[in-house]
Amino acid sequence: MSLLAHAASAVFLMISVQVQAALPEFQDLVERVAPSVVNIATRSEKKPERLQQAPDLDQLPPFFREFFERGLPGPSQEREGRSLGSGFIVSADGYILTNNHVVEGADTVLVRLNDRREYQAQIVGTDPRSDIALLKIEAEQLPVVRLADSDKVRAGQWVIAIGSPFGFDYSVTAGIVSALGRSLPPENYVPFIQTDVAINPGNSGGPLFNLEGEVIGINSQIFTRSGGFMGLSFAIPTNLVMNVADQLKSDGIVKRGWLGVLIQEVNRELALSFGLKKPMGALIAQASASGPAGKAGIKAGDVVVAFNGKIVDRSSDLPPMVGLVKPGTTVPVDIVRAGSQITLQVTIEQLPDSKEVVGRNESQPDKALNIIGMVVGQLPDGLKQELGLNNGVLIKEILGNPARAAGLRSGDVVTQIGGDLVDSLTALRGIVKSLPKDRPIPILVVRGGDSTFLTLRLGR
């Protein structure tokens, strides 16, 4: 072997040793934290599902008659439903955290500890919005997890999960944090931690640990097309978990902050049109006049760039920030309006239990006008009242660009162009005549009851 080959081999061996030395070892960590992890089994008595109309057994052949007689449940028969999940102990006197979907609908919840002791648990409270449940067992001097500040979690750091995937108790899987602040449908009040840790059915409700043995989140969801792990797992951050748990323990319900706005992401063209140096923040597409934001002077077209002292980099950052604020608290909200940054004081209110969903009727405009590639008409009073609008014109038909290129549709209600309110067809004509042709122009429309900003370029 040549001298060069020997040198290359030595370098490769040295690099291999360095890589192996850099990989963490989890043995001591797992031994230390595993006693605070629990297995959760639930049982629910479900009434049997019966056929709407029972077949006439005397009219069936013998084989089918025997099949139906054996298969039909008797009057007192019930089916027992079971589910399996994980959890972890947060207090020595028996408080345990898990996912709401693990215990939802359960008549009996059984908790099994690492030392095989079993307890029947009481459900203290649940919060479906964040998928968190707080349980209590009658026990003392239990091993307790340590909790991390989830705001300090960083993408790329090592993490491990302990749980009961498919019923295999105390299985350990490891990986890294893939991303932070993920917003998943249908609820956007949870800034999920995304990891590549192998999570499967049964891991739900279990802890996600950092290398210091601290819990940074509750394993809650996976992205899958097969029902099993595909490399995308999501955990609820500890700071949000404990905020919810403390409220469940003290009040039995969770009260979230509410700003009273509809928001959207700021893309490159919207950032340019609103005078931002780069795409960032949460663009206010609609602000309820009777909501906290409206009362404080926030309006459609404002871009929230900071909330309560924290930077709002993406629109998905804002709802969790607002949700964590105690209703009644006044916080500073930094917005960009017409290229200038200002700070408003907003008193946060409690998130309503349900949202008002407004539909759109099919009233046709009495008059139409062909402007910038679209036919528009006056907004009927009935539709205006139904949508809760004070101004706007109705798009009856899209004829071509630039309206088509902007993504406008028939049925949209245009309420604002370039920061100017559109309250009549005459006003719209005047606004269009003064619009610049060398840059994108923000246009605010109401579609299906929701407000959204699009960008219009007159040169298209």
Please give the sequence-ordered ranges of beta strands (E in DSSP) within 266-383, or none if there are none.
282-287, 303-307, 310-311, 330-337, 340-347, 349-350, 369-371, 374-378
Measured distance CA(404)–CA(1) in Å, rounded: 69
Residue among 390, 395, 335, 354 nearest 371 (CA): 395
The one catalytic residue in 204, 220, 233, 273 is: 204
Measured distance CA(68)–CA(55) in Å, rounded: 9
Residues sharing a CB contact under 8 Å with residue 376, sequence separation 6 or more, in sequence order: 365, 368, 369, 393, 394, 395, 396, 414, 425, 428
The one catalytic residue in 101, 150, 220, 334 is: 101
The string of DSSP letters for 240-276 reads HHHHHHHHHHHTSS---EE--EEEEE--HHHHHHTT-
Q: Is 101 a catalytic residue?
A: yes
Q: Is 204 a catalytic residue?
A: yes
User: Using CB atoms within 10 A of its CB, is residue 76 exposed (0-12), middle (13-18) or buried (19+)?
Assistant: exposed
Phi/psi at 150 (nearest 5 deg)? Answer: -70, -15
Give how far the C-alpha of residue 324 lies from the chain's centroid of Cα atoms, to the nearest Å. Answer: 14
The one catalytic residue in 127, 131, 317, 412 is: 131
Residues taking part in catalysis: 101, 131, 204
